[in-house]
Structure 1
Amino acid sequence: MADTGIIIGDDGLARPVWATSSELMQTYYDTEWGMPVRDEHGVFERISLEAFQSGLSWATILRKRENFRAAFAEFDPDAVAKFGDDDVVRLLGDAGIVRNRAKILATINNAQATLALREDGGLADFVWSFQPETTPQPRTIEDIPTQSAESVALSKALRKKGFRFVGPTTMFALMEAIGIVDTHLLGSHRRGASGVWQ
């Protein structure tokens, strides 16, 4: 089924090519990607990791995920919001994460913006308020969009709230990852698994 971008695994299950590149990626695809994340902590972690992924492969970020969690106080926004200059120096010296000053500073900034958003109902509800009325129905990898009207709107809205590294493509990837849209290929065994879209 190479023409659709789907591969049938040894277990008989259909997955997109990217989900078969390693055991780590397959486990992520089978158990986490596209499943609803509706809590502040979970959404903050995903926004942070998507920002670090910008310009890199998701596999790189996934391999470093536990290192990121250790370095960023398990992505507790209350803790990260208090990070200062010493923490930035520490993070820039941490070979276990992506050592990009702009992305590190953006994560600290976004933690502070997350705390401020609590007055408006919180980060998770804010992000989920951009759920579209319909979700893509991709038959092939080429059918999957890289952004949408909703991801553009979410990007603009988050920027107005002070967030950084939240461009439309990054926000569409976030929406895919946390179940706001379902871009599982129609032939994939995970299509509809989130329960958000039937």
Structure 2
Amino acid sequence: MISAGEFRKGITFEMDGDIYEVVDFQHVKPGKGAAFVRAKIKSILNGTNKETTFNPTERFTRAIIETKELQYLYTDGQLYYFMDNETYEQMPFEHSQVEDAIMWIKENDMALVQSYQGKPFSVAPPNFVELEVTETEPGFKGDTTSGANKPATLETGVTINVPLFVEIGDVLRIDTRSGEYMSRV
């Protein structure tokens, strides 16, 4: 059990039949009246955010979230299949579970899968990936304006902004948290 007075960023707990993660919190001690905790929480199961206040003595059951690294195998158009490399068990995921991650991973790449009580609910790509440029406009010789960018489509189909010197066939290192170009490989 955890009390609202012990909330910190990243803590997960059960409330009203749902699992929530503390995104932000603030302990408030007004001049008059009792202290309270103002928190921004995110539902892990459906992704909705809400702001609410708690009495610091309210108690909740702490939710244990398991994180495991799985290998992305393939998609059949409806489901996306991942494999546990320890047990060789294949797990299907719906598009809604992988939509934020799938644009950064290709077949045989590893991804982090979070689950609660054995039920997976989220797939996250590695923080940095290396992807090949499949389509972009050609750069012009002598065009060295600092900070100038152009769009480039990567092998997974996602389009990002890259410097003018990047060409088709280049392999780029991408930060998946921000979707930004980091360097050529």
Do they fold alike, i.e. is TM over 0.5? no
* TM-score under structure 2 length normalisation: 0.25
Higher helix share: 1
Larger radius of gyration: 2
* TM-score under structure 1 length normalisation: 0.24
Higher strand share: 2
